[in-house]
Amino acid sequence: MRFSKRTLIKAASATALTGALFPLAACSKGTSPMELKDMTGDVSLITPQERLSRIEKAQALMSRQGVGALIIEAGTTLTYFTGIQWWRSERFTGAVLCADGSFCIVTPFFEEPSIREQMTFGDDVRTWHEHESPFELVSGYLAEKNARDAPVAVEETVRHFIIDGVSHADPHLQFVSGAPVVRGCRMHKSPAELALMQKANDITIAAYKHTYDRIEAGMTPRDVSAIMNDATRNLGGRPSFALCLFGEASAYPHGSSQPQSIKEGEVVLMDCGCNVHGYESDISRTWVHGEASTQQRDVWNTVKRGQVLALETAQLGVRAGAVDDAVRAYYESLGYGPGYAAPGLTHRLGHGIGMDGHEPVNFVQGEETALAPGMCFSNEPGIYIPGSFGIRLEDCLYMTENGPKLFSALSKSIDAPFG
């Protein structure tokens, strides 16, 4: 049976379709997770002092760009600057960070105690009742801090209804993108952030090794992802996703809705990650259950060469897009593509990563951002042959003063994917 080319977004959902999804529920088949030990006992959390230094950097960037304030809503950027972990809903909870370094939190009245529990610095919380507008509080704070006469920056993931509400509360305001401010901070990871990302990657590799040894013919993606997620939890990580693709489904980067089970001689492609105290890992491995064919070996080796080429290209000062260009040109020289066409590398070479699994900027054609210390990326070339199979290898890297450094060692071979 031919699989559909319908792709599924990689996420931590445990619902719906059979085959490509990655449940978080436990599965006892083939695994003994209790033998695994928590690896996070030595981690250090992001300190209030580091968060205050981030606010100072954002303040400097706002002043340099002539911005009066930055509006943030619940999400990883709110956590990044304040440490407050909150969810998005129809009720606005967020922060207004001014260029003078002052900030306030805006939240519903009934949420104030929960918000204050998470605050390790600052004490300005402005609350609204259900019949009131939170956006009046935002505009009022901007006026109070004399920040309304300069452009107000908006963090790039803030939803439209929030800015629409603030603009109705104060039509005088001029809004600009907050990307230069937020990216100027978040794209450059500190040693403390890199340490948490390293731990997340170490846990994912350890969970992979545990899972790899327990895979048997006939298992479904649900079986395998459950083993992976159980192992990740027991090692101290919070599973983010565990994508498992077998055979032809591996030719479609995020999978198929068709039922799958492991068969002798078929490709097994896994793409898994976890979260450790707010920071993500993302690692892909591909191998064959049983003996690999000559074609499978050739494609695997070609993908691996692309991954090495990306590392060789990703040097300080190089455009992020040039890394994608170099690998894609190599694949095209072998007859794949052209460009993003199949069979070939049908997606960007890599994405930024940190508190979010996907962050700006990307290894993608046309990206002009120059590589600089502290930037983190996935390096995940793939070659996908619709109707047959696909190979993807993914490890994340961070830029140092001396060039790229990997969080996880590259896969050794199709026969020994974990060394």
Mean pLDDT of the 134-158 span: 96
Q: What is the pTM of this model?
A: 0.91
Distance CA 59, CA 147 (A): 12
> Taking each helix axis from N to C terminus, what angle separates 191-212 and 221-234, rounded to the nearest 10 degrees?
130
| Per-residue model confidence (pLDDT) at position 33 | 61
CATH number for the domain running over 33-42+189-406: 3.90.230.10
Q: What is the percent of the chain with per-residue pLDDT over 70, rounded to a whole number?
A: 92
pLDDT confidence band for 419 (50 / 70 / 90): confident
- Taking a C-beta distance cutoff of 8 angstroms, is the pair 205, 408 a contact? yes
Lowest-pLDDT choice from 6-20, 74-88, 270-284, 288-302: 6-20
Number of H helices, E strands in the chain: 10, 17
| Per-residue model confidence (pLDDT) at position 28 | 40
What secondary structure letter does DSSP report for 118? Answer: H
Q: Is the pLDDT of residue 312 over 50?
A: yes
Read off the pLDDT of residues 92-122 as tens digits, 9 standing for 90 and up.
999 999 999 999 999 999 999 999 999 999 9
Distance CA 312, CA 32 (A): 40
pLDDT confidence band for 401 (50 / 70 / 90): very high
Read off the pLDDT of residues 179-232 as tens digits, 9 standing for 90 and up.
999 999 999 999 999 999 999 999 999 999 999 999 999 999 999 999 999 999
Token couple for 11:
């996420």
- Average pLDDT of every residue of the chain: 92
Q: Is the pLDDT of residue 13 over 70?
A: no
Which sequence spans correspond to the domains of the chain?
33-42+189-406, 68-177
CATH number for the domain running over 68-177: 3.40.350.10
Start-end of H helices in 235-381: 294-313, 320-333
Read off the pLDDT of residues 227-283 as tens digits, 9 standing for 90 and up.
999 999 999 999 999 999 999 999 999 988 899 999 999 999 999 999 999 999 999
Give burial (CB, 10 Å; 0-12/13-18/19+) of 388: middle
